[in-house]
Amino acid sequence: MLELENVTAYYGNSPALQNVDMHVESGEFMSVLGRNGGGKTTLMRAILGLMDKVTGSIELDGKEINNKRTDQRALAGIGYVPQGRGILPKFTVRENLMMGTFASQSNSGTINEWVFELFPILRDFLGRRGGNLSGGQQQQLAIARALLSDPKVILLDEPTEGIQPNIVEQIEEVLVKLNREHRITVVLVEQNVEFARRASQKFVLLDRGSVASHGSIDELSDDLVHRHMAV
């Protein structure tokens, strides 16, 4: 589904990600772990084409996308929920959701009802401005917006950061449901190791812009977490 080989990504002339290999199978749930500043968000940005320069190979469904623009990658099937959610505060919930439909290949402009089944609160707030929602409600909106692009794979950058515990539980349940029942491939950047262990099949552990470890989630030992995630 998504394969990176020898990927190095740059801010200006400085490499922030170095020689990264990553392979995500269709329908898989992979967690990307590591300390703050270890390269997790840079990895997401490299996949999306948002870095100054990226070398190496990035393939989606066997097709090279490293030469494609960000909008072309979205249309190819990459959904994204950025760190900080990226909600447009002056747009209503409906308008924010409509933005997700523009990245769908069908470009129907229709908000599918199933996102309201996942996040019922959004139906009640369709006319409310995004900036007037709580942090947890904004995160639900950001995930729903990404899903409306009909993604083959969805990238989420720390979706539970700064969210109240009851909403964190709901977000976890939704992501697992999307993966297990709807077979959407998930790549999750997360600091919550226990959530990663519950939800993922595989992990990649980044340290200083390089892959320090990877494998089945059962192989994510406490020792690895301590060595590469402890502050």
Cβ 6 vs Cβ 57: under 8 Å? yes
Taking the model in full, what pTM does it have? 0.93
- Residue 178 pLDDT exceeds 70: yes
pLDDT band of 176, cuts 50, 70, 90: very high
Q: DSSP assignment of 173-186, as one string? A: HHHHHHHHTT--EE
What pLDDT, on the 0 to 100 scale, is given for residue 198?
Answer: 92
pLDDT band of 107, cuts 50, 70, 90: low
Cα–Cα nearest to 197, from 211, 177, 217, 169:
217
Q: Which domain CATH number covers 29?
A: 3.40.50.300
Here the tokens at position 98 are 């409509």
The winner for highest mean pLDDT among 5-9, 131-135, 166-170, 196-200 is 5-9
Cβ 98 vs Cβ 111: under 8 Å? yes
- Residue 111: partners with Cβ closer than 8 Å, 6 or more residues away: 94, 97, 98, 101, 148
- Residue 74 pLDDT exceeds 90: yes
- Residue 129: partners with Cβ closer than 8 Å, 6 or more residues away: 89, 90, 91, 92, 93
What pLDDT, on the 0 to 100 scale, is given for residue 104?
Answer: 84
Domain count, the chain: 1
Mean pLDDT of the chain: 93
pLDDT band of 152, cuts 50, 70, 90: very high
- Please give the average per-residue pLDDT across 96-123, as a whole number: 87
What pLDDT, on the 0 to 100 scale, is given for residue 22?
Answer: 97
- Please give the average per-residue pLDDT across 158-174, as a whole number: 88
The Cα–Cα gap between 178 and 172 comes to: 10
65: containing domain: 2-229
How much of the chain exceeds pLDDT 90, in percent?
85
The Cα–Cα gap between 158 and 3 comes to: 21
What pLDDT, on the 0 to 100 scale, is given for residue 106?
Answer: 72
Helix crossing, 135-147 with 93-101: angle to 10°? 30
pLDDT band of 108, cuts 50, 70, 90: low
What pLDDT, on the 0 to 100 scale, is given for residue 167?
Answer: 85
Residue corresponding to tokens 């007037």: 132
